[in-house]
A and B are shown apart, each in its own frame.
Chain A
């Protein structure tokens, strides 16, 4: 019995090796850099938590974090309700279903840097359909110079690119609701809003949680599209954490601060995901422990 148990460890060795190479070793390298300083020549000096303190105090980091949080908030506030509305409006059966699904999936199939390029060209004032069109009807629009225009362009681009994901997830939740629920609602004389509030929303809650988490993580880590469209400008107005990090690590080659910032970045995402998850599933815990929700 004992020998058999020991042999079993060899079975998990390949996975351990893979995870080590994949995740643990790179992560530990970053941890290693984050507590040291270097002046080149492969010479490293122990600096402890100095880089972390510096990053957390730096105004540059605060600004980038603020911009990233604002961006994610706006993205979630637009894409989640919009996605639900579109999913509700999509046909549940018939030939329209496949047409809608294909149309919805199209933006998701385009590589991220191509999406950036499309919108970069689309928005140009001299040749872009959008930029030139707006200019010709007298609207002052220029995403390379105006902060608001740059933000609007990035947000509309992201909504165009990623709302489909929310739509598809919600749609999958909606079509899984048995027809009998709608029949019962008709018998009970429920209004359209009551059907949404008490049948559809509770039933798509789980997929909605996944949609919120995915969209939050993706938008919080967004890099390629703003890098291609605005390059972080005008000024620093669209320099999100990811762009800032790459500038620090590769542009300035400040490995120590960049590593510290990566870890802080990583912990923020982890923390916020946990918050989302806890808040959105708190209701389930509440009901299974049998606490009263009161009469509505």
Chain B
């Protein structure tokens, strides 16, 4: 196991005429601590998979260095780096049995048979595959195939890290929970460094201690699920995390008052004057809808999502989503009030500190 460090990693797949164009991962420096459970969260096409492939060595970065415990591994092959990786779609060796599939990476490394057998047996037990151990892998369903892919990573006890590239995409919803819990348990038991790529925030937030949010080739925030929810460092994080995401409204600030479309909002904090590119952000959970308090809005839609109601409203030209408890009547002349303690102020998309 190892601490993985990126030093100013940049990568592009195609040479571009412009010196700085076409980068999928851009000037990224990051550290993954030994034994941590990390999630890499971001929309499709933001460079998550590229980043993962750079760690495992499937992709050699255009620039920068990859270090494992201070040792430069940038030029090493995946095999030399000793990384396990589970892909989005299950990869099994069709003609081999389940047990032989699990033994495959060990046999390639020339381990003795008794050692291979005992490790395969223990992984079969962990994943609950003992009963089908002697079946040919091709006859299995996607769930079991993905378990095998996972098992081929777990069977190597000396791996530096296990990387997951959206591994639960093809898994049945009810089994997703089960496997995710299983992964967490495996992590606690073996303390492997695990990096889990996903675009599903629930998966990321339940799996990881530390969630890294990626956006356009850069990691915009690293933090616990709570930090990401309450103090998003970037408007993208605010919008991406939560359902619906954070309301972001362009505003002007005058002292401790924000002005949105001529309506004033109390910030209860003084911000420096003369700033431009300001936006105010508030979670739908932290807005109170009532008849008499705050700014008048127009309700455009009411969606009952089961555990609560999402009220979609217009404040001038801006959309504001509000989460209301089940059973609360929508007021006739709705007004919204922002909880000042939950307000975030962004400048040029990045969170502003308090002055």
Residues of A bordering B, CB below 8 Å: 178, 180-181, 183-184, 186-191, 194, 198-199, 201-203, 283, 286-288, 290, 292-296
Is B91 within 8 A of A293, CB to CB? Answer: no
Is A184 within 8 A of B97, CB to CB? Answer: no
Residues of B within 8 A of A287 (CB): 135-136, 138-139
Residues of A within 8 A of B87 (CB): 180, 183-184
Residues of A within 8 A of B256 (CB): none
**Contact A292-B135, Cβ < 8 Å, known A180-B89, A186-B58:** yes
**Contact A295-B99, Cβ < 8 Å, known A186-B58, A187-B56, A187-B84:** yes
Residues of A within 8 A of B46 (CB): none
Is A189 within 8 A of B85, CB to CB? Answer: no
Contact among A178, A201, A294 with B97 in the assembled complex (CB-CB below 8 Å) = A294
Per the bound structure, the CA–CA distance linking A215 and B83 in Å amounts to: 44
Top 4 closest A-B pairs, CB basis?
A287-B136, A292-B134, A184-B91, A188-B105
Residues of B within 8 A of A180 (CB): 87-89, 91
Contact among B58, B96, B108, B136 with A183 in the assembled complex (CB-CB below 8 Å) = B58
A181-B91, A187-B56, A203-B94 known, 10 other contacts, Cβ within 8 Å: A180-B89, A183-B58, A186-B57, A186-B79, A194-B108, A198-B94, A202-B94, A293-B134, A294-B97, A296-B96
Minimum CB–CB distance from B60 to chain A (whole Å) comes to 12
Which residue on chain A has the smallest CB distance to residue B120? Answer: A295
Minimum CB–CB distance from B314 to chain A (whole Å) comes to 45
Residues of B within 8 A of A188 (CB): 104-105, 108, 152
Residues of A within 8 A of B247 (CB): none
Is A288 within 8 A of B139, CB to CB? Answer: yes
Residues of A within 8 A of B57 (CB): 186
Per the bound structure, the CA–CA distance linking A82 and B139 in Å amounts to: 31
Residues of A within 8 A of B79 (CB): 186-187, 189
Interface of B is mostly: mixed
Residues of B within 8 A of A178 (CB): 89
Most-contacted residue by chain B among A181, A189, A294 (CB, 10 A): A189
Q: Flag whether B258 is at the interface (Cβ < 8 A).
A: no
**Contact A187-B93, Cβ < 8 Å, known A294-B134, A295-B99, A295-B103:** no
Q: Which chain B residues in 94-117 approach chain A with CB under 8 Å?
A: 94-97, 99-100, 103-105, 108-109
Per the bound structure, the CA–CA distance linking A187 and B109 in Å amounts to: 11
Per the bound structure, the CA–CA distance linking A114 and B116 in Å amounts to: 59
Residues of B within 8 A of A295 (CB): 97, 99-100, 103
Is A198 within 8 A of B96, CB to CB? Answer: yes
Total A-B residue contacts, Cβ distance less than 8 Å: 80
Residues of B within 8 A of A286 (CB): 136
Residues of B within 8 A of A187 (CB): 56, 58, 78-79, 83-85, 105
Contact-size category for B: 20 to 34
**Contact A189-B97, Cβ < 8 Å, known A288-B139, A290-B139, A294-B134:** no
Q: Flag whether B263 is at the interface (Cβ < 8 A).
A: no
Per the bound structure, the CA–CA distance linking A178 and B105 in Å amounts to: 20
Residues of A within 8 A of B108 (CB): 188-191, 194
For B63-97 the 0/1 string (1 means CB < 8 A from A) is 00000000000000111000111011101011111
Is B100 within 8 A of A296, CB to CB? Answer: yes
Residues of A within 8 A of B84 (CB): 187
Is B78 within 8 A of A292, CB to CB? Answer: no
Is B135 within 8 A of A290, CB to CB? Answer: yes
Residues of A within 8 A of B94 (CB): 198, 202-203
Residues of A within 8 A of B321 (CB): none
Per the bound structure, the CA–CA distance linking A198 and B85 in Å amounts to: 18
Is A198 within 8 A of B95, CB to CB? Answer: yes
5 chain-A/chain-B pairs, Cβ below 8 angstroms: A183-B87, A186-B57, A186-B58, A190-B108, A194-B104
Minimum CB–CB distance from A203 to chain B (whole Å) comes to 8
Per the bound structure, the CA–CA distance linking A180 and B79 in Å amounts to: 15
Is A198 within 8 A of B138, CB to CB? Answer: no
Q: Flag whether B149 is at the interface (Cβ < 8 A).
A: yes
Minimum CB–CB distance from B296 to chain A (whole Å) comes to 54
Which residue on chain A has the smallest CB distance to residue B87? Answer: A180
Minimum CB–CB distance from B135 to chain A (whole Å) comes to 6
Minimum CB–CB distance from A49 to chain B (whole Å) comes to 46
Residues of A within 8 A of B53 (CB): 183
Residues of A within 8 A of B96 (CB): 198, 293, 296
Residues of A within 8 A of B78 (CB): 186-187, 189
Per the bound structure, the CA–CA distance linking A178 and B90 in Å amounts to: 11
Which residue on chain B has the smallest CB distance to residue A194? Answer: B108
Per the bound structure, the CA–CA distance linking A40 and B214 in Å amounts to: 90
Residues of B within 8 A of A290 (CB): 135, 139
Is B109 within 8 A of A293, CB to CB? Answer: no
Which residue on chain A has the smallest CB distance to residue B104? Answer: A188
Residues of A within 8 A of B56 (CB): 187
Q: Which chain B residues in 227-255 approach chain A with CB under 8 Å?
A: none
